């Protein structure tokens, strides 16, 4: 087995969180060379620090020596006050940045700095929350956002599904369920595994274990294909 590297990074949208204080995090679906898919959450200040370090690591490719040699994409610095409008308006630039990043020469796109930054962290799966504070608001990019990356939906209410049977997770990226658990679906993968959240837990679960709460129409999903599991 070779070293891990990222095949694709897709910006899903962003969350408005209220604990420990109000802030915003971007949601990314990261597709790896082993065909696994992980959802990670990053503040823009983190992303910009990552970007600055990447430029320092590759001064030629960042244009520090000769501006005409620059291939590392540009990324605007954070504003003094990063509110919801700037978080929303930045999505087009950020989506294009991620696309350019994974298409850079392998010495950059597959370096440890890139790989480690987009690896799943503990708080991606188990974000710190306070049950007394309201749940995060989720703002998802529409599926056809490649044509117009500035379009945004939201705030949206995530679809709620009920677990129809117990499910024991078999990897750290999955989430265990008990029959009757009510989960919010963040992302529906075409291979039949859905990324869900349950209180302060997040993880992938088989769609076959879930039934919609909003009526029978939403149950008409394609048959899961577990051969391509994350």
Dihedral pair phi/psi, residue 30, rounded to 5°? -105, 120
- Residue with token string 């677990």: 163
What is the three-class DSSP state of 153? coil
pLDDT digits (tens, 9 = 90+) for 137-180: 888 776 555 444 444 444 555 788 999 999 998 877 788 999 99
Residues facing residue 206 across a β-bridge? 193
pLDDT, residue 116, reads: 97
How confident is the model at residue 213, as a pLDDT? 77
Give strand pairing partners of 201.
198
Each residue of 89-145: pLDDT tens digit?
999 999 999 999 999 999 999 999 999 999 999 888 777 665 556 677 888 776 555
Q: What is the pLDDT of residue 223?
A: 45
**Prediction pTM value:** 0.67
How far is the C-alpha of 33 from the C-alpha of 4, rounded, in Å?
A: 6
Q: Is the pLDDT of residue 29 over 80?
A: yes
Instruction: Name the burial class of residue 80, with classes exposed (0-12), middle (13-18) and buried (19+) by CB atoms within 10 angstroms of its CB.
Output: exposed
> How far are the Cα atoms of 29, 104, 117 from residue 68, in angstroms, in the given order?
32, 16, 27
Domains of the chain: 6-140 (3.30.1520.10), 159-228 (2.30.30.40)
Instruction: Report the candidate in 151, 228, 140 with the shortest Cα–Cα distance to residue 190.
Output: 228
Phi, psi of 200 (to 5 degrees): -100, 15
The alpha carbon of residue 44 and the mean position of all alpha carbons in its chain are separated, in whole angstroms, by 13
Flag whether pLDDT at 4 surpasses 60: yes
H or E element: which one contains 8? strand 6-17
Residue 38, Ramachandran bin (φ over 0: left; ψ between -120 and 50: alpha; else beta): beta
Q: Strands 193-198, 182-188: parallel, antiparallel or unpaired by DSSP? A: antiparallel
Q: How many residues does the chain have?
A: 230
**Amino acid 143: pLDDT:** 59
Average pLDDT over residues 193-205: 82
How many other β-carbons are positioned within 10 Å of the β-carbon of residue 220? 7
């Amino acid at each position: 087995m070779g070293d891990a590297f990222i095949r694709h990074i897709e910006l899903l949208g962003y969350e408005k969180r209220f604990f420990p204080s109000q802030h915003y995090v971007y949601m990314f679906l990261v597709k790896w060379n082993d065909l696994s898919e992980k959802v990670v959450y990053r503040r823009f200040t983190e992303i910009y620090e990552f970007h600055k370090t990447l430029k320092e690591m590759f001064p030629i490719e960042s244009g520090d020596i000769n501006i005409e040699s620059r291939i590392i994409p540009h990324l605007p610095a954070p504003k003094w006050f990063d509110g919801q409008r700037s978080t929303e308006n930045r999505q087009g630039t950020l989506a294009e940045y991620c696309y350019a990043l994974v298409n850079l020469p392998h010495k950059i796109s597959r370096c440890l700095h890139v790989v480690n930054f987009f690896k799943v962290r503990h708080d991606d799966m188990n974000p710190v929350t306070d049950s007394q504070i309201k749940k995060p608001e989720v703002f998802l990019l529409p599926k056809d956002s490649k044509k117009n990356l500035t379009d945004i939906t939201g705030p949206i209410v995530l679809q709620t599904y009920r677990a129809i049977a117990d499910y024991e997770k078999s990897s750290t990226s999955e989430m265990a369920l008990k029959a009757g658990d009510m989960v919010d679906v963040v992302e529906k993968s075409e291979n039949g595994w859905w990324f869900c959240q349950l209180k302060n837990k997040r993880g992938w679960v088989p769609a076959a274990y879930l039934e919609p709460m909003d009526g029978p129409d939403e149950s008409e999903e394609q048959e899961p294909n577990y051969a391509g599991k994350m």
